[in-house]
Structure 1
Amino acid sequence: MMKQDFQLSISQSNVSDNCKYITPKIIDAISEGVMITDVNSKIVDVNPAFEFVTGYKKEEVIGEKPDVLQSGIHGKEFYKLMWNELCQKGEWQGEIWNRRKTGDVYPEWLKIMKVDSSDGSVLGYCGVFSDLSDEKNIESELKKRAMTDSLTGVSNRFAYNERMNVLLDSSKGHNYQHAILFLDLDRFKQVNDTLGHSVGDQLLVEVTKRIQTLLKNKDILARYGGDEFVITFTDIHHPRDAVHLSEKIIHLLEEPFIIEDQKLYISSSIGISIYPHDGAETETLLNKADKAMYYAKENGKNQFAFYFDDLQTDAKRALLLDNELRRAIEQKSFELYYQPKVDIKKHQIIGVEALVRWNNEKLGNVSPAEFIPYAEETGLIIPISECIIDRACQDAHILARSGFKNVPIAINISSIHFHQKGFVNSIEQIFIKNNLPARQFELELTERTIMNNERETIRKLVKLKQMGFKLSIDDFGTGYSSLSYLVQFPLNFLKIDRSFIQQICSLNDNQAVVDAIIQMAHRLHMKVIAEGVEQSEQVKLLDSMDCDMIQGYYYSKPLPLNELMEFLEFWELELEGK
């Protein structure tokens, strides 16, 4: 059938004669692709939009069948159903994938209409289609964003849970084992706090790349949040496979990362649960792997641990710890022990450091190493710190009434508390309430605390110094700062971390480091306190290095207030030679 005959037949049966010359112009003008075939399904006409979408010129397809566009994606059954519906209903519409002249496969929404003559015989078919490529790309991109961690490009928490649910559902009834590894980066917060979030983000990207080199295609890797990653090691033969993978990850992440010309060192703690031994549901397996990870972190970090049933007991203890800690804050039931600090040249006690202790009727003696990190994690450290400062003020009054008026008390300040907006004001109010001058107290801040947000830190330190407090930097040598950098902070004392002192007599390198710290601190007009001194040889060596003060078991362990007063009295009598 000729094109003119086809157009005439359409116009005679569907439109008035006045419109028969307009019809081709309308078809050419519409933005959807149009293809017209005769009754034998041979193409008799297409419009410009067809040429634009498919890449085929009109003259290339006239006389051809529509299968010139077939993508090969749909099977025979698909086309059979299409033609059945077209014959029965007179039209068919749906999503179909076709192929452009370039070979690219693309999606389109196609509507095919059967064109009948006035006597009901079939004249041909008209197909109208729209290219769905852009919509599909947008849909795909949105789906990808919803399922992908935007920083690292791996699955996010939602996508991981979805993929795990599918994996576990397909594993039922089969003898499959899967290992779930919950990974947390040790000391990552220090990187963020000292070098900034940009460096931290780059580090997370590099960590992801390293882990990916160890995984198979069917394994699942997700960034679960912050510096936490989850890995599903699928279809393992034995739990030792999870051990081998964990060891590889730990060793791989120990290697230095070079970011912005800086060498960064981190480590990782990994918790492991096994399907189906530890559970058959995603949430259960994740929860147990998470508990195992915290166990690994609390027992030294840079290691892995399998989940075991006793960890459930630890979870119950954590709940009890939280309840009892809140009650202790309300009742102010913390106690302070005091460790003397001794002037190495004059052999005089020049102050004490307050150390918190907590004895609970349900938990017994709870180590600060247990409840302080938990308090920092939950935010309870702020009211605890205020309790400690208030208790130190009360003890200062007791010391003064007992004749010990010139014993400065050093108080450790939590980093979280220090960086609160109202920190300086809250400290001031406690001392006003207790009617005590700030000059009787020394505030100890860790190296990492003062290196965080330096401008605001300087403002606070200057204000505290103006109020009369002495200021010291604690645990020096364990962070990222240098002594030359500390010149901008108004500090009075520097405390060398005990890790340098413990082997000062046996390691020449430690001696050199301690000696350098002492000399440089003196140049910056700071006095030096050595922590953790236990041996007479250490005292002699520190004396020869001109260290100013010593604190440690060599002179005294931390003492409750009544024993401290006895110790101070005995010390004075010894100095007087009585």
Structure 2
Amino acid sequence: MENQFKIDCYADRLNILYANLNQSILVTLMVILVLASIQYDVAAHSILTSWILVQLLVLIGRFWLGLRFARKAPMNSDLRKWGRRFFIGAVSTGLVWGAAGLVFFPSNSIALQVFTVLVLAGLAAGALTVLAADFPSYAAYACTTLLPVTVNSAIYADRLHIAISVLTFSMLIFLLRAAKRFNGSIKTSLHLRYENRELMQQLECEKKRLDNRLTRILQDFSSEIYLVDLNTLDILQSNAGASRNLGYSEQELLQLSLSDVHPGIDQAVFLGLVESSSEADQGAVAFRGDNRRRDGTLYPVEMRLQVVTSEDPPICLVTMLDMSERFHYEEKLRYQANYDQLTGLPNKVLALTRASQAFERCLNNNTKLALMFLDLDNFKTINDTLGHKTGDQLLQMVAERLNQVLRTSDTAARIGGDEFIILIPDVVELSCVEKVAHKIIDTITPPFLLDNRELYVTASIGISFFPDDGNTAEKLLQHADTAMYNAKAQGKNNFQFFSREMKEMAARHLLIESKLRKALELDELEIHFQPQLDTSSGILLGAEALLRWNNQVLGQVSPGEFIPVAENSGLILPLGNWVLEQACMEAARWPQTLGRPLRVAVNVSSPQFQDGGLVEKVKESLEKSCLPPEYLELEITESLLMAESSNLMGLFQQLLDLGVKLSLDDFGTGYSSLSYLKRFPIHTLKIDQSFIRELHTDQNDQSLVTAIVAMAHGLNIEVVAEGVECDEQLEFLRQREVDIVQGFLLSKPLSADNFRDYLAQQCEVPVDASVELV
């Protein structure tokens, strides 16, 4: 509907433009005559005549265009084409008038120059009311009309002409702003008009609908209405609704009694209901039962009785409401209460109910119940970058794959977000559950094809057993959840069985999260810097900023332990922003010691990109620290790049526009890594230390590193090798022309003060020296 509003509004704006076209052409002709008469004795006749002919040709073309528009009444699909034609006509007219500002600007007559400026300014101002319905057309016309004379005036470079140029340009700016406001007012007015029209149409439709409904109710009430003799229960009168529901004609119903229609009621029951309603001082009494159609089938009804004692003999008004639809609705509600609406799988309530129901059977048969808690890895990245619609489609496809690999006795349920439960009853051997877990992981791992795009997700699964790990469904779910988080900590895309050690680990995670929330406030965090050296010359090029945390209770906590907790709890955003700012501040001080700038590499997590404020935070940190942007390198992980996104590319472009460099960290540990190098603007590639650790002994690692370096250099991407710990590794990397190295062989991460001391030692090494690294 919004799109139709836009089309209708655009059509009306075109009508306004073309309706004013003849008036605009007439005024233009008058101005041409006035300008020609003034310039006749001054300008060269050949130039004047040529200019008039060109202008007339343009005006004739626009007049012919207006006639065609009036006769054709273009369809919606042609509106943009007619808009472009009008725009071209406006630009053409403006260009011809702009030429007048050049050829009718005699250097020997200030008066004629001023006259020409006034004519062109008047045309631009007058066109405001004619062309404001389409701001691009007006802007093109005004700019092509006034800018040439503005520039021509400025060329004279004397005070008067400079003043004329400034005033003309100022007027152009004023007119453009006025046209923008005027155009906005026109659009708003048209939009409101169509909204009001649509509202009136809706109100009229609603009025007709209500009138028709009331008519139908009065003429043919859908419920069954009977007037019954209170003494005999004979039907005295009925409505069309009764005939339609029961299958009898109105005449046939008059031959029946209420007992024939509703077998569950007889004279004694009926009088008892009437008597109870009288004793309770109720206006009506209602109860449920079944009506019998002419063909013998039954259907549920709710019956209401209203006794009318003013009649003689007394009668009873009986209203019966068909409850079939309501019973269907109640069944639908029961379904919605027990099943996930997106995937059709059982929901958490039904899954835990089934788990509880299976407990007794397990105890009787001496078997176990396995509860799997499945969480999709990297789903949030896909959902945030590609949108919830894509995320929902992906969840539906995951549900289909789960149903394909499970037995009919098993239960797959979605309990929310990207979390699923799988119940495996009657487990005798642990190996059976292992096989199911492997099968589930193998089923989810292949790519999902959505909108001609391959999406990759993996699954982390935690498994608990009844009765070993808990005697309630909630306890089993809690322990399976703990095991699932342990699976994620083990690198994702795997399954883990619950153990008591995991419970202790979960408690430690909670403690870490609690202490981490106060770490900034208590000044417990510190940034260490690990030097990055040129492989061939040994010259210090920069350093990687690494976060360290020393808590009074927990002691020195490993980043590998507290960073995942920070990411899961949302604390990574304030921590990441703090690291970014502090790293920039420290890097800005390094030239004071070393005599030259160094780049600093800062890790940026996926939540920081998804938060939306990363670009502003980077800009703020650079401005606050005065660090040149080319010396800041942001390290991103492959998981961020797994789901392609125009938003992500837009963020990258904004960072590149700032002058910041991007580095792909831990290269080779994700999925489809090679495609990222082609798709994304990566400056630096960091080979993951898992490939470096056995480099001097493992030929596979040597081949992989060699291939990565050759590929990166072929794409003009700088290569950094991290985790260098022995001379053999360093020599191999030097021979393969790896650009930069870092690791404990060269230097461990240093505190800010120690790193400055390290810089002071580096001052003794000439910039162009070629020395050994160690």
TM over 0.5: yes
The one of 82, 85, 91 aligned to 2:269 = 85
SS at match of 1:185: strand
With over 3 angstroms needed to count, the CA separation of the structure-2 counterparts of 1:418 and 1:264, relative to structure 1, is closer
Separation (CA, whole Å) in 2 of partners of 1:238 and 1:361: 46
Asked if 1:130 corresponds to 2:318, the answer is no
Q: CA deviation at 1:224?
A: 1.1
Q: Which residue of 2 aligns with 1:514?
A: 708
Asked if 1:167 corresponds to 2:357, the answer is yes
Deviation track 1:397-424 (CA, whole Å, cap 9, x = no partner) reads 6644544643322222233224434434
Q: Which has more strand, going by share of residues?
A: 1
Asked whether the 8 Å contact 1:501–1:510 carries over to 2, the reply is no
Separation (CA, whole Å) in 1 of partners of 2:770 and 2:644: 48
With over 3 angstroms needed to count, the CA separation of the structure-2 counterparts of 1:54 and 1:328, relative to structure 1, is same
**What are the equivalent positions in structure 2 for 1:339-378 lying under 5 Å apart?**
339-378=530-569
With over 3 angstroms needed to count, the CA separation of the structure-2 counterparts of 1:68 and 1:168, relative to structure 1, is farther
Q: Which residue of 2 aligns with 1:139?
A: 330
Separation (CA, whole Å) in 2 of partners of 1:468 and 1:143: 58
- Greater CA deviation, 267-276 or 443-452? 443-452
Separation (CA, whole Å) in 2 of partners of 1:100 and 1:207: 47
The one of 501, 515, 523 aligned to 1:310 = 501
Separation (CA, whole Å) in 1 of partners of 2:612 and 2:454: 33
Unaligned runs of 5+ in 2: 1-217, 276-284
Q: Which residue of 2 aligns with 1:10?
A: none
Deviation track 1:521-576 (CA, whole Å, cap 9, x = no partner) reads 21xxx433344455666656655655433334554443445665666637955958
With over 3 angstroms needed to count, the CA separation of the structure-2 counterparts of 1:440 and 1:127, relative to structure 1, is closer
Q: CA deviation at 1:243?
A: 4.4
Asked if 1:268 corresponds to 2:459, the answer is yes
Q: CA deviation at 1:321?
A: 0.7
Report the AA paired with residue 244 of structure 2: F
- Greater CA deviation, 100-109 or 264-273? 100-109
Q: Which residue of 2 aligns with 1:252?
A: 443
Q: TM-score, normalised by structure 2?
A: 0.57
Q: Which has more helix, going by share of residues?
A: 2
Q: CA deviation at 1:227?
A: 0.7
Q: CA deviation at 1:493?
A: 2.8
SS at match of 1:409: strand
SS at match of 2:484: helix
With over 3 angstroms needed to count, the CA separation of the structure-2 counterparts of 1:47 and 1:576, relative to structure 1, is closer
Asked if 1:148 corresponds to 2:339, the answer is yes
Report the AA paired with residue 305 of structure 1: Q
Asked whether the 8 Å contact 1:37–1:45 carries over to 2, the reply is no
Separation (CA, whole Å) in 2 of partners of 1:310 and 1:213: 34
- Greater CA deviation, 425-434 or 410-419? 425-434
With over 3 angstroms needed to count, the CA separation of the structure-2 counterparts of 1:388 and 1:549, relative to structure 1, is same
Asked whether the 8 Å contact 1:185–1:228 carries over to 2, the reply is yes
With over 3 angstroms needed to count, the CA separation of the structure-2 counterparts of 1:510 and 1:89, relative to structure 1, is same
Separation (CA, whole Å) in 2 of partners of 1:434 and 1:244: 56
With over 3 angstroms needed to count, the CA separation of the structure-2 counterparts of 1:82 and 1:413, relative to structure 1, is farther
SS at match of 1:482: helix
Report the AA paired with residue 375 of structure 2: D
**What are the equivalent positions in structure 2 for 1:10-25 lying under 5 Å apart?**
none
Separation (CA, whole Å) in 2 of partners of 1:261 and 1:146: 35
Q: Which residue of 1 aligns with 2:474?
A: 283
The one of 474, 477, 483 aligned to 2:665 = 474
Separation (CA, whole Å) in 2 of partners of 1:119 and 1:410: 98
Q: Which residue of 1 aligns with 2:739?
A: 548
Deviation track 1:148-198 (CA, whole Å, cap 9, x = no partner) reads 32210123335545x359738987996785433221122323433555433
Q: Which residue of 1 aligns with 2:244?
A: 52
Separation (CA, whole Å) in 2 of partners of 1:119 and 1:408: 104
Asked whether the 8 Å contact 2:385–2:643 carries over to 1, the reply is yes
Separation (CA, whole Å) in 1 of partners of 2:639 and 2:439: 30
Q: Which has the higher contact order (CA 8 A, sep 6+)?
A: 1
With over 3 angstroms needed to count, the CA separation of the structure-2 counterparts of 1:539 and 1:571, relative to structure 1, is farther
- Greater CA deviation, 539-548 or 345-354? 539-548
SS at match of 2:715: helix
Separation (CA, whole Å) in 2 of partners of 1:503 and 1:363: 32
With over 3 angstroms needed to count, the CA separation of the structure-2 counterparts of 1:37 and 1:300, relative to structure 1, is farther
Report the AA paired with residue 108 of structure 1: V
Asked whether the 8 Å contact 1:183–1:271 carries over to 2, the reply is yes
Structure with larger Rg: 2
SS at match of 1:358: strand
SS at match of 1:137: helix
Report the AA paired with residue 482 of structure 2: K
Asked whether the 8 Å contact 1:291–1:307 carries over to 2, the reply is yes
With over 3 angstroms needed to count, the CA separation of the structure-2 counterparts of 1:90 and 1:171, relative to structure 1, is farther
Asked whether the 8 Å contact 2:594–2:763 carries over to 1, the reply is no
Q: CA deviation at 1:509?
A: 6.6
Asked whether the 8 Å contact 1:521–1:528 carries over to 2, the reply is no
Separation (CA, whole Å) in 2 of partners of 1:416 and 1:154: 30
The one of 671, 677, 681 aligned to 1:483 = 677
Report the AA paired with residue 347 of structure 2: N
Q: Which residue of 1 aligns with 2:422?
A: 231
Q: CA deviation at 1:215?
A: 4.8
Q: CA deviation at 1:325?
A: 1.4
Report the AA paired with residue 361 of structure 1: Q
Asked whether the 8 Å contact 2:529–2:751 carries over to 1, the reply is yes
With over 3 angstroms needed to count, the CA separation of the structure-2 counterparts of 1:104 and 1:203, relative to structure 1, is farther
Asked if 1:108 corresponds to 2:301, the answer is yes
Asked whether the 8 Å contact 1:239–1:274 carries over to 2, the reply is no
SS at match of 2:345: coil
Asked if 1:95 corresponds to 2:288, the answer is yes
Report the AA paired with residue 384 of structure 1: L
SS at match of 1:179: strand
Q: CA deviation at 1:261?
A: 4.1
Separation (CA, whole Å) in 2 of partners of 1:420 and 1:376: 12
Q: How large is the RMSD of aligned CA atoms in angstroms?
A: 4.8
SS at match of 2:289: strand
With over 3 angstroms needed to count, the CA separation of the structure-2 counterparts of 1:195 and 1:127, relative to structure 1, is closer
Separation (CA, whole Å) in 1 of partners of 2:258 and 2:487: 64
Identity of aligned pairs, percent? 34
Separation (CA, whole Å) in 2 of partners of 1:496 and 1:468: 23
Asked if 1:410 corresponds to 2:604, the answer is no
With over 3 angstroms needed to count, the CA separation of the structure-2 counterparts of 1:281 and 1:144, relative to structure 1, is same
With over 3 angstroms needed to count, the CA separation of the structure-2 counterparts of 1:244 and 1:549, relative to structure 1, is closer
Report the AA paired with residue 294 of structure 1: Y
Asked if 1:320 corresponds to 2:511, the answer is yes
Aligned length: 535
Asked whether the 8 Å contact 1:415–1:449 carries over to 2, the reply is yes
Q: Which residue of 2 aligns with 1:379?
A: 570
Report the AA paired with residue 286 of structure 1: L
Q: CA deviation at 1:226?
A: 1.0
Separation (CA, whole Å) in 2 of partners of 1:228 and 1:433: 42
Separation (CA, whole Å) in 1 of partners of 2:249 and 2:728: 95
With over 3 angstroms needed to count, the CA separation of the structure-2 counterparts of 1:139 and 1:386, relative to structure 1, is same
SS at match of 1:328: coil
With over 3 angstroms needed to count, the CA separation of the structure-2 counterparts of 1:450 and 1:39, relative to structure 1, is same
Q: CA deviation at 1:371?
A: 0.9
Q: Which residue of 2 aligns with 1:74?
A: none
Asked whether the 8 Å contact 1:518–1:547 carries over to 2, the reply is no
Q: Which residue of 1 aligns with 2:73?
A: none
SS at match of 1:336: strand
The one of 183, 193, 197 aligned to 2:374 = 183
With over 3 angstroms needed to count, the CA separation of the structure-2 counterparts of 1:33 and 1:324, relative to structure 1, is closer
Asked whether the 8 Å contact 1:533–1:553 carries over to 2, the reply is yes
Asked whether the 8 Å contact 1:39–1:125 carries over to 2, the reply is no
Separation (CA, whole Å) in 1 of partners of 2:307 and 2:296: 29
Q: CA deviation at 1:510?
A: 2.6
Report the AA paired with residue 300 of structure 2: P
Asked whether the 8 Å contact 1:518–1:545 carries over to 2, the reply is no
Unaligned runs of 5+ in 1: 1-26, 71-77
With over 3 angstroms needed to count, the CA separation of the structure-2 counterparts of 1:546 and 1:307, relative to structure 1, is closer
- Greater CA deviation, 213-222 or 200-209? 213-222
